[in-house]
Structure 1
Amino acid sequence: MTLSAAPHISSDGQIPVREAAERHARIFNIQRFSLNDGQGIRTLVFFKGCPHRCPWCANPESMSPRIQIIKRHAKCLNCRTCLQDPNECPSGAMEYVGEDITLPELMTRLLKDEVFFRSSGGGITLSGGEVLMQHEFAGELLRQLQALGITTAIETAGDAPLDHLLSLTDHCDQVLYDFKIMDPTHARSVLNMNQSRVRQNFTALARRGVKLIPRVPLIPGFTLTIENMQQILDFLRPFNLTEIHLLPFHKYGEAKYPLLDKPYSMHKIKVPDDATVAPFYTMAEKYGYNVTLGG
């Protein structure tokens, strides 16, 4: 998303995180008319910043909490007009990724789609990155949306202090909760994820009666194993949930990595076909779940 004015840029080509986090959110996209990530027609708000480092991430621009600059070299005119300011780039080769926005500004944008939410049974989903990194703003946003009768959801990996999570779930209708690598040591080394906290927080939310939908990304070499899937299903069994989402690996975000000067380690990994995914679908069905492929 492009900012209207050029902010201060550090020597590493990034913009510092705004200190007044309680008054602004840092987002990198608002996706309208989505049919995934919750029921009905939805608008998704993508918050910038994530503590995890999933090699398969489809939104690498979400990882850093800073506003970044990307450059599409194929569009560059080499005119030097921009002087590292994307707002001055005549060809659109350079642009900012990330925007600081106030709560009233964001509410105004989101409510433009209110008629679609109400007619379709849809609503607004907060995603990322990891929305829990901006929990104060997100919690207030959800509270105001809930007061207007708009259905809300969040997508999260649940790896944050429980009170941060509760500040959001107390004001939303649905939590799409990701389970990735279940082995705690492997999750820490590969993803920088505290898997024990992920489990504890899920348990706490379930006991509070929060509507939870577990989601499992099926990633070759990481989560796409019978052992990992079995561990997830065994953990979830006591909660008597009825719905689960399986998210097969894709490469839709691959083209973004070179724009950010990031290596894409999944380049040689094949996207799983239907025959590869089928056993995991069957496993979940045998546990009594209504299984959805994709969000």
Structure 2
Amino acid sequence: MSCNPNRCHDAAVEGTPPPSTGRVFNIQRYSLNDGEGIRTVVFFKGCPLRCPWCSNPESRSSKQQIIRREAKCRHCAVCSNDVNECPTGALELVGTDMTLDELMAEIERDEVFYRSSGGGVTLSGGEVLTQAPFALELLKRLKRLGYNTAIETTGHGNTTLLLELGQFCDEVLYDFKIMDSKVAKDVVGINLQRCLDNFRQLVDQGTHVVPRIPLIPGYTMSFENIDAILDFLSAFDLQEVHLLPFHQFGANKYEIFGMDYEFKDVPVPTDTEIEAIRRRVEARGYTVNIGG
């Protein structure tokens, strides 16, 4: 990732986190998406893909990064790019290394909401498979406490680790993007066949897998692409498909990280377009959830 040195740079600690920790860039509480009930979503840093529509560009690099929020900065030169020395809080470290105990302490704060709503904890990213060993230990601990668990994944990663993660999940939210293998590789860097094979193996081992389709203008929203996904899914006894309409919520992050946002002028799907795809999916016998 290329970053404007005046806006974003890698912090002193680089690369992947130590094996005993996970590198997290956000913990989102009270989420009503990303699984059933009220959920806490843990966002892991690092992703092998390069989706040009990504709403979390801070998730791409596995490195810790320092960003500067221009509106807060006095340009006083006091901090020397040290987050702890910044007098206004303009500097922010993106990516926190947390032990299992530290992360569990954060998650357990919301236990009352999980219990009352049938919710739980979802591991997201980035791509959770980039930190699969840590995520696996976290899921095991969550299940021992009786929490409902889920992961969000593209399936682009180690098959053995993905199957292990699936064994400790109440559901796996599995994204389908571009079904032309060459275009998928060229645009987002994904190995489509591996992802399809991984999906098949997850379902075969008995994991509850929920297919999700991001609705991206010009890439995934064509009826041809939607039908290709549905044709693949027809081999499995699945009841539900989630549609995730493209949005512009993460657009301002790209400037902060010194990155070009290719989708800044792309309009969000209209209600009419979304409804047409909903009807097409429902016609194949699925219950459709808009927005996950």
Q: Shorter-chain-normalised TM-score: which range?
A: over 0.9
Alpha-carbon distance between aligned partners in 2 of 1:79 and 1:122, rounded to the nearest angstrom: 46
SS of residue paired to 1:214: strand
Asked if residue 20 in structure 1 is aligned to residue 11 in structure 2, the reply is no
Segments of 5+ residues of structure 1 without an aligned counterpart are: 1-10
Asked if residue 294 in structure 1 is aligned to residue 283 in structure 2, the reply is no
Q: How does 1:108-147 map to 2 (within 5 A)?
A: 108-147=105-144
**How far off its partner does 1:20 sit?**
2.4
Contact 2:49 2:190 in 1 (8 A): yes
**How far off its partner does 1:17 sit?**
2.3
**How far off its partner does 1:240 sit?**
1.9
Alpha-carbon distance between aligned partners in 1 of 2:249 and 2:16, rounded to the nearest angstrom: 30
Q: How does 1:203-218 map to 2 (within 5 A)?
A: 203-218=200-215
Superposition RMSD on alpha carbons, in Å?
1.2
SS of residue paired to 1:239: coil
SS of residue paired to 1:66: coil
Alpha-carbon distance between aligned partners in 2 of 1:32 and 1:123, rounded to the nearest angstrom: 10
Alpha-carbon distance between aligned partners in 2 of 1:255 and 1:87, rounded to the nearest angstrom: 24
**How far off its partner does 1:74 sit?**
2.4
Write the letter of the residue equivalent to 1:223: T
- Return the match for 2:279 from 257, 278, 282: 282
Residue aligning to 1:222? 219
Write the letter of the residue equivalent to 1:191: V
Indicate the percent of aligned positions where both proteins have the same amino acid. 52
Write the letter of the residue equivalent to 2:15: V
**How far off its partner does 1:12 sit?**
5.0
Asked if residue 35 in structure 1 is aligned to residue 32 in structure 2, the reply is yes
**How far off its partner does 1:209 sit?**
1.2
Alpha-carbon distance between aligned partners in 1 of 2:56 and 2:37, rounded to the nearest angstrom: 23
Segments of 5+ residues of structure 2 without an aligned counterpart are: 1-7
Contact 1:136 1:167 in 2 (8 A): no
SS of residue paired to 1:272: coil
**How far off its partner does 1:222 sit?**
0.9
Residue aligning to 1:54? 51
**How far off its partner does 1:166 sit?**
1.3
Alpha-carbon distance between aligned partners in 2 of 1:18 and 1:161, rounded to the nearest angstrom: 16
Write the letter of the residue equivalent to 2:29: R
Residue aligning to 1:97? 94
Write the letter of the residue equivalent to 1:210: T
Q: If the length of structure 2 is used for normalisation, what is the TM-score? A: 0.95
Alpha-carbon distance between aligned partners in 1 of 2:58 and 2:18, rounded to the nearest angstrom: 22
SS of residue paired to 1:220: coil
State the number of aligned residues. 284
Contact 2:175 2:213 in 1 (8 A): yes
Asked if residue 160 in structure 1 is aligned to residue 157 in structure 2, the reply is yes
**How far off its partner does 1:158 sit?**
0.4
Residue aligning to 2:263? 266
SS of residue paired to 1:238: coil
Residue aligning to 1:74? 71
- Return the match for 1:249 from 233, 246, 251: 246
Alpha-carbon distance between aligned partners in 2 of 1:244 and 1:19, rounded to the nearest angstrom: 34
1:65-108 Cα distance to aligned partner (Å, 9 max, x none): 00111111222101111111122111221111110000111111
Contact 1:70 1:95 in 2 (8 A): yes
1:148-179 Cα distance to aligned partner (Å, 9 max, x none): 11100000000112101012111111000000
SS of residue paired to 1:255: helix
Contact 1:50 1:64 in 2 (8 A): yes
Write the letter of the residue equivalent to 2:263: M
1:119-147 Cα distance to aligned partner (Å, 9 max, x none): 11000000000001100000010011101
SS of residue paired to 2:281: helix
Q: If the length of structure 1 is used for normalisation, what is the TM-score? A: 0.94
Residue aligning to 2:237? 240
